[in-house]
Structure 1
């Protein structure tokens, strides 16, 4: 709208300077009819703006538009087809899918992929809210004492449902626009790491089966987590989530024996763990590598290399969000947050 007003103002300025309508149309790359109508509107109203209500009339009445919007807000997972069919069944009004979309856009309702997260029961919300209230007063220096850790997995040929391709009509099955998928992603690798604002641990690949409590102690805690915690000082705190391998009796006993202080982490709270965002950074970097890895060995080499290339400043910036995460949980009364 602003661009149209600016262009109309230029049309009027050139015409008042004595330029012909044909010259103005060529100069501003608009039709001569546009120049004529703009000049006529200016002569009649003294303004280049269109009069309210002077545009093309809509094909639906306001009450129909209100019904459409209310149906969309009542069931947020309705498709345009669902809304079109409901309007036909309930109000006996037939409109196109494009009209449905335009009416929703006019009400500032857009179609997006839904945000996803774990299902939160009442107990989970209570625990999350309690945790956030206990930690909301922590300073950045307090959070700097925490070693955040987690496991992640990357598939060799994982399907990325967010990816789009640019193609022309008739090119849907063209090789350049087609994405081949491999059963079970062609294999995957699981790995563990820990981060804090000053440093990060090495990436530890979890191979040959499931991560058990015993393996967690011998392959993760002793060789990697403990040295990192020692480097953080005597007031260091270890954060891991509530995965079964992390909370087995043997792990709890070992941590108590060696004096590892553990953050009492609420269940189903990946949005509170900043390393999840670091994993996102890592996965994007791995996906961008060309040519893409074709074997598990190549994939592991790429993951390791990209992990080491992530700037520490990037990790530090992500960690500065911890106070905001706590406040977001409190504002959501223990519910899901933007993180």
Structure 2
């Protein structure tokens, strides 16, 4: 019998197994196939994925116990605190309630939930102006009919921050469903630049300190053409980058022109159009499953896991690019 054979209750599965279920789901694997491969009932697989979609975590959430002893006045004060500061933590709420009405963390958690507020990971959600939407719509219409052979020539790139303490150590906010504020994470992280194509992953580079236009130019100089060569994209490959000011700086543009790099004209505020976003998530899950304990080990794990990302996964992300463009057209930008 497999060591992973669980009961029907998902909370008894190991954290690693829950993460593997989510990772396979993100990769497009079906419930039945996952159930057979991991020796987990399909109902449990479905439960884990439902929980991940709703709470954006596979970790066991705190559960309420006996009936709350919190008064109506204390409950109103909690909601008032959370409404004024959505990023306040449970620990801070507990400390602030000591003088008013000492309460357990689970009591506070339950009271906030019953008021219609839930802990959510704060996402970076760009604000789209009418000009942004028009540019996105025009871009999607123009590129929807691009051939797959052309898309295979694109070298996608991006920068990302990865947290040392795992995907579930992200900052949370208390909010009602539907609102998604922005948050910037704290320390214990590293910044990375990476690129990939339908043929697989290219170079991955750690960015030390605050990146300048000169640093970005050096990253391109040391990694871009070599990545295209390693991936056999040919000299007429197309380079994708977003509209970060460092990317658009004179020093960066001159390097691209001097090296005859064909740059894909990219609409602003469009991270959702870049398939590397899904690849970053796969990558971060793989790194965090290794539980690195310090930044040196963390950087080594990053480079190893980036190189190990499946070529088939890269190819599927590029092949499904039309779906992203169609979604933008359907949403009118």
Query: Hey, what does 2:161 align to over in structure 1?
Result: 153
- Distance in structure 2 (CA, Å) of the matches to 1:112 and 1:333: 31
Shift of 1:286: 1.5
CA contact (8 A) 2:202 2:228 kept: no
- Counterpart of 1:251 in structure 2 is 252
Judge conservation of contact 1:199–1:312 (CA < 8 Å) in 2.
yes
Aligned to 2:212: 212
Q: CA separation in 2, counterparts of 1:288 and 1:241?
A: 29
2:240 match: 239
Task: Kindly state the Cα deviation for residue 160 of structure 1 after the two structures are TM-superposed.
Answer: 2.1
Determine the C-alpha separation between the residues in 1 that align with 2:259 and 2:188. Answer: 36
**What TM-score do the two structures reach when normalised by structure 2?**
0.56
Are 1:189 and 1:206, in contact at CA under 8 Å, matched by a contact in 2? yes
Bigger Rg over Cα: 1
Partner of 1:188: 189
For 1:14-55, what per-residue CA distance to the aligned partner results, in whole angstroms no more than 9, with x for missing partners?
xxxxxxxxxxxxxxxxxxxxxxxxxxxxxxxxxxxxxxxxxx
CA-CA distance at 1:162 after TM superposition: 7.9
| 5+ residue gaps, structure 2 | 1-109, 172-184
Among 114, 125, 132, the alignment partner of 1:117 is 125
Give the 3 Å change call, closer, same or farther, for CA 234–121 of structure 1 in structure 2: same
Say if 2:150 is the partner of 1:142.
yes
Match of 1:128 in 2: 136
Between the aligned partners of 1:159 and 1:272, the Cα distance in structure 2 is: 22
Preserved contact between residue 157 and residue 185 of structure 1 (Cα < 8 Å): no
- 2:298 alignment partner in structure 1: 299
Report the alpha carbon displacement of residue 186 of structure 1 after superposing the two structures with TM: 4.3
Query: In structure 1, how many angstroms separate the alpha carbons of the residues matched to 2:298 and 2:304?
Result: 10
Deviation at 1:202, TM superposition (A): 2.1
CA contact 1:149–1:195 (8 Å) conserved in 2: yes
Pair 1:127–1:112, CA change in 2 (3 A): farther
Deviations 1:91-139 (A, max 9, x none): xxxxxx9xxx9xxxxxxxxx99698621111111011001111101012
**More divergent stretch after superposition (304-313 vs 123-132):** 304-313
How far apart are residue 198 of structure 1 and its match? 1.1
User: Any idea what SS the aligned residue of 2:200 has?
Assistant: coil
SS of residue in 1 equivalent to 2:307: helix
Bigger CA drift: 275-284 or 221-230? 221-230
TM-score, scaled to structure 1: 0.55
- Give SS of 2:332's match: coil
**Cα offset, 1:158, TM superposition:** 5.3
**Aligned residue for 2:14?**
none
The DSSP-based 3-state class of the residue aligned with 2:168 is coil
**What secondary structure sits across from 2:162 in the alignment?**
strand
Q: Structure 2 matches for 1:1-339, cutoff 5 A?
A: 117-157=125-165, 160=168, 185-207=186-208, 209-218=209-218, 220-230=219-229, 231-289=232-290, 292-334=291-333
Judged with a 3 Å threshold, the aligned counterparts in structure 2 of structure 1 residues 245 and 139 are, in CA distance, closer, same or farther, namely same
Comparing both structures, which one devotes a greater share of its residues to strand? 2
- Would the alpha carbon gap of residues 297 and 115 (structure 1) be closer, same or farther in structure 2, given more than 3 Å must change? closer
Matched residue pairs, number? 206
Aligned equivalent of 2:3 = none
Give the deviation of 1:161 after TM superposition: 6.2
Question: For the residues of structure 2 that align with 1:188 and 1:116, how far apart are their CA atoms?
Answer: 17
CA contact (8 A) 1:213 1:250 kept: yes
